[in-house]
């Protein structure tokens, strides 16, 4: 299934090389993006599971996930990790609505970093397209795990 999705989204060798370069641009700022994300999630009272006792661990896990995603070989390790993420969110009753909205918020913060960089316009466009492809595959797989677990 992953192979079909990778082909459908045109995630090829060039896209993977771009993702690795994108990670170099985003990694110095990822802590800020994730801090801002969890303070918004906490302040919006979306889930009682995001609280002062859990947020430090969530930040570490989420940062690790983004960096692993941008360097992913889309192998079993990645598949197991995205399956676990889907199941964790299902376990805390996080609706797909909040999962998608949360994902878009993170994406907008990363897009802002790309736009404000000194890179040529074409590279910015390539980075944004690459980010979109990676988010599409990650979100699609996490949410299908969600469905599968609910149906089971």
61 in contact with ligand HEM (CB under 6 A): yes
Of the candidate spans 11-19, 97-105, 116-124, 144-152, the one that interacts with ligand HEM by CB under 6 A turns out to be: 97-105
Looking at 5, 23, 59, 62, which residue binds ligand HEM (CB under 6 A)?
62
The rounded distance, in Å, linking the Cα atoms of 149 and 147 is 5
- The residues near 131 (Cβ < 8 Å, ≥ 6 apart) are 22, 107, 110, 111, 114
List % helix, strand, coil for the chain (3-state, nearest 5): 80, 0, 20
The residue among 88 and 119 lying less far from ligand HEM, judged by its C-beta, is 88
Nearest Cα residue to 111 out of 100, 92, 125? 125
Backbone torsions φ then ψ of 72, nearest 5 degrees: -65, 145
131 in contact with ligand HEM (CB under 6 A): no
Site string for ligand HEM, 100-119 (x = CB under 6 A): --xx--x-------------
85 in contact with ligand HEM (CB under 6 A): yes
The residue ranges that bind ligand HEM (CB under 6 A) are: 41, 46-47, 49-50, 58, 61-62, 65, 84-85, 88-89, 92, 94, 98-99, 102-103, 106
């Amino acid at each position: 299934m992953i192979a079909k999705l990778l082909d459908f989204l045109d995630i090829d060798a060039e896209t993977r090389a771009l993702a690795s370069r994108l990670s170099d641009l985003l990694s110095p700022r990822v802590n800020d993006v994730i801090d801002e994300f969890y303070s918004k999630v906490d302040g919006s009272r979306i889930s009682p599971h995001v609280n002062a006792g859990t947020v430090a661990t969530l930040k570490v896990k989420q940062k690790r996930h983004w960096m692993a995603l941008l360097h992913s070989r889309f192998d079993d390790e990645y598949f197991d990790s995205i399956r676990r993420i889907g199941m964790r969110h299902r376990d805390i009753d996080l609706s797909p609505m909040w999962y998608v909205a949360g994902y878009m918020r993170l994406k907008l913060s990363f897009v802002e970093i790309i736009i404000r960089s000194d890179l040529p316009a074409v590279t910015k466009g390539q980075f944004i397209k690459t980010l979109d492809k990676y988010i599409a595959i990650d979100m699609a797989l996490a949410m299908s795990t969600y469905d599968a677990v609910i149906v089971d």
